[in-house]
Amino acid sequence: MNALEDGSSTMTSRGYLSGVVVAAALLLAPQAAFAAGFASTAHSGTQTGMAGVATANPDEPASNFYNPAGMAFDENLNVYLGATTIIPSVDYTSPDGAFTYQTESQTFYPPNFDLAVPVSDGFTVGVGTTFSWGLGIAWPEDWVGKYEFRSQEMQTFNLNPSVAMEVPAVDGLSVAAGAQLVRSAIRQERAQMLPDGTELDVVLGGTGHGVGATLAAMFKATDEVTVGVNYRSAVRISYDGVIHFSDDVNGTPFQYRMIDQDIETGMTVPHTINAGVGYQLNDALWLGLDVNYMTWRTYDQLEVQFSQQSPEGDIGEVDPSLVIDADWSDAVAIRLGGQYELIPGLKVRGGFAYDMTPVPDATVGPSLPDNDRLVFATGLGYTQLGTGIRADLGYQFVTLPTREIRNGTVDGDYQMSSHVLGVNVGYGF
């Protein structure tokens, strides 16, 4: 048995193991505010106001993300931009009820942008930008689980160029293809108590890149019925970063064991398949149904590689890496939404969604105490007739049943919720 496997080995190997464990937690469960797992899906005021319904909505302006095939039906240059305000919160209660904590107040403002440019009749090129994976969580400095996890923030920028065209042989059918160009940054922090009583901070951070693809189709079956499908491929993101131990370790017997160094790791964000149907009941009322499927089984295991080993002790032959199991499962979300035109140009929206969690009991932890999510949504949209100017406002309240964690990480009862506000303006519609 080597030093990384033997918990009773020397203090040097235990000191090194502490650094390994903290680094392995870097990507074990990135935190998100409004989709199961760590997917971010609210990138337009229109979609936000209908609880995520967008795949078969011909009126969805952020088409590059939700269904780029819809661009083929645009006759004008369309520009759409805005930001989503996200305010997450997690409450913790210890199993015996003796301790309660709440995460620190945080607000995130991920921006989004969408551009569609008709090149010829039935052929359009476009580009969109979103922050499609991530967000963050921060527990108080003194919370009971600080030696397991304190804070994390993940941001993933996704650039989506795409092309769309109508299929000449099939009236009402359009198809699209595109790319995902991903850049991600992540940072995690926790506390570490050394055997001599010294407490230090351990910070891990890194950046990574990845490339993926998109395919989509939209079919206007009749004047009333539209069907859409949108596929976004899995993306492998390879991270390079560093692990840093606070200067408090200097002057202690552990200053040569808890050493700053480079790290490498990687993760695969899942394939996403969205299918939807929309129905225009009359001139004023449109209803939509979306089913979203994410292959979270791609997030099964993480391996963290370290550039150095402890310069002391008997672990010189040990490969400085650690493999952590995540074992997530595929998950489905069902979304219902609609919009009603009160007066010409002014629409009210609403929706509801049920979003399954992919995180199993065995690996769930305080960085993402996820559970199945209930989403309640409402919104407004206004288009100034004759000018092509539009504005959209959408709000979601996301709530989760209490997640009971009893797997030995930081056991307790966790209650998550978040407020999501999407605000966008556009031109050309």
For the stretch 105-116, pLDDT in tens is 999 999 999 999
pLDDT at 427 over 50: yes
* 322 within 8 A of 20, measured Cβ to Cβ: yes
Who has greater pLDDT, 80 or 307?
80
User: Is 169 domain-assigned?
Assistant: yes
Q: Between β-strands 100-102 and 78-93, what pairing exists: parallel, antiparallel or unpaired?
A: antiparallel
pLDDT of the residue at 24: 43
Asked whether the predicted pLDDT for residue 213 surpasses 90, the reply is yes
Predicted confidence at residue 4, as pLDDT, reads 26
Rounded-to-10 torsion of CA 406, 410, 415, 417: -130
Are residues 398 and 53 in contact, defined by beta-carbon separation less than 8 angstroms? no
Q: How many angstroms separate the first and last alpha carbons of the chain?
A: 67
The region of weakest confidence among 33-42, 92-101, 159-168, 255-264 is 33-42
Work out the average pLDDT over 337-341: 98
Q: Which residues contact 408 (CB under 8 A, 6 or more apart)?
A: none
CATH number of the domain that residue 358 is part of: 2.40.160.60
Give the total number of structural domains in the chain: 1
Residue 249 CB burial class (10 angstroms; 0-12, 13-18, ≥19): buried
Two tokens, residue 12? 């040097």
pLDDT at residue number 2: 30
Mean pLDDT (whole number) for 383-401: 95
Question: Whose structure tokens read 């403002």?
Answer: 109
Mean pLDDT: which of 34-38, 71-75, 215-219, 299-303 is highest?
215-219
**Structural domain span for residue 337:** 11-427
Q: Answer yes or no: is pLDDT of 36 > 70.
A: no
Q: Is residue 179 part of a domain?
A: yes
- Using CA atoms, how far apart are residues 249 and 196, in angstroms rounded to an integer? 11
363 within some domain: yes
What's the CA angle centered on 274, arms 174 and 221, to 5 degrees? 40
Asked if the model's pLDDT at residue 11 lies above 50, the reply is: no
Whether the CA torsion 85, 25, 35, 403 is positive or negative: it is negative
Q: Is residue 4 part of a domain?
A: no
User: Is 5 a domain residue?
Assistant: no
Kindly write down the DSSP assignment for every residue of 72-119, as one continuous string. Answer: GG--S-EEEEEEEEEEEEEEEE-TTSS-EEEPPP--B--EEEEEEEEE
Specify the pLDDT at position 301: 79
Distance CA 7, CA 92 (A): 30
User: Would 2 be classed as within a structural domain?
Assistant: no
At 223, is the pLDDT very low, low, confident or very high (cuts 50, 70, 90)?
very high
Does residue 332 contact residue 293 with C-beta atoms inside 8 Å?
yes
Other beta carbons within 10 angstroms of residue 142's beta carbon come to 8
pLDDT tier at 19 (50, 70, 90 boundaries)? very low
Span 185-189, mean pLDDT? 92
Q: Alpha-carbon distance 398 to 419, whole Å?
A: 6
Using DSSP, state whether 296 is helix, strand or coil: helix
- What does the pLDDT read at residue 204? 87
Write out the two tokens for 251: 């002057």
Arithmetic mean of pLDDT, 372-395: 95
Distance CA 427, CA 429 (A): 6
Instruction: Return d(Cα 292, Cα 218) in angstroms, integer.
Output: 16
- The chain-wide mean pLDDT, for the chain, equals 87
Residue 109 is predicted with a pLDDT of 94
- The rounded Cα 278 to chain-centroid distance in angstroms is 26
388's tokens: 């092509």
Length of the chain: 429
Residue bearing tokens 């409004």? 34
- With 50 as the cut, is the pLDDT of residue 22 above it? no
* pLDDT above 60 for 330: yes
pLDDT of residue 28: 42
**Does residue 3 lie in a domain region?**
no
Q: Would the pLDDT of 339 be above 50?
A: yes
Beta strands in 233-368 (DSSP E): 235-245, 261-269, 272-280, 285-294, 301-306, 321-325, 331-343, 346-355
Other beta carbons less than 10 A from residue 304's beta carbon: 26
pLDDT at 226: 98
Residue 1, domain member (yes or no): no
